[in-house]
Chains A and B, each alone.
Chain A
Amino acid sequence: MIGKNDIENLSKLARIELDEEEKKSLAEDIEKILSFVEQIKEAGGEIQTEPAVGKLRNIMREDKNPHKKGIHTEELLETAPEREGAYIKVQKIL
């Protein structure tokens, strides 16, 4: 049973603000979805940690020939919500 406490805990973990009404409707939806996906408990299969498809391969390159310093700086900074000079501006962390 997914209760209001569980939803509030998930909201904290996922860092998503919710209003009271949505806490209720999300609890119902998640309850419904979880009971649907729980069908897989009837299936066989060995629990494993390796993925079935999409194995990642490290792609290495020589540590040389870097791109010219600063050529992407401006276009990347332009996408930031707030900046100060060549820095992305955020609120105080500590």
Chain B
Amino acid sequence: MKFFNQNKILNLSFKSQKIILIFFLLILSIGLFEALVLSPEDYLQGDAVRIMYVHVPAAWMSLGIFSFIAFLSILVFIFKNKNFILIAKSIAPSGFIFNIIALVTGSIWGKPTWGTWWAWDARITSMLILALFYLMYLMAWRIFENKNYVLKVTSLIAIFGSINVPIVKFSVDWWSTLHQPASVNLISETTIHSSMLIPLCIMTAAFVLFSLLIFLMKYNTELIKIKNKGLDRL
């Protein structure tokens, strides 16, 4: 069974890459200008608050992408859909990078505000575990060469790791942690002033576009690899 016409997808994604790149650069520069120049400093943290405009979207992206990979992996595991596994494989690297960015920027923020680079609290530790799951996922793709085997191993790693995602999200509510609870809430009140929320949203949009761009590039590479092998699909 053939799911898509690959030549069509290749053409389409090559064209859309340029458009997305332009949009990404545009929104990133607006976001950075808002975040670094226009937005006010925080009453308590001062300029350290500006780290948040990178830290928070990066953390959101890493959690979102991992959930997406896990969702695709469940479908792959059950229905053996080989197109989904390629999507999951191609989106994983940007999720990992965002996870590392969240950890590093959090550490840089922690030193001037908390007074420490690192704390073994539930939020930070579970975020580190998420990074390790990303690492395992990406490494599994390189280690196992048997196609059927790599499919099972990677999707099981993603499904295992997805249990950690709600732990990351709710760790600040379930346990006392050094990390503060969420400021941006869909259900309860958002405790971040609108002058700071707007740049945060713009930066998030920029990060989404960046992930999309990297994803399309990776996905194209995978499709070309398959094409060169003379196969229809993985």
Report if A and B associate in a common complex.
no
Q: Which residues of B does A touch, CB under 8 Å?
A: none
Q: Which residues of A does B touch, CB under 8 Å?
A: none
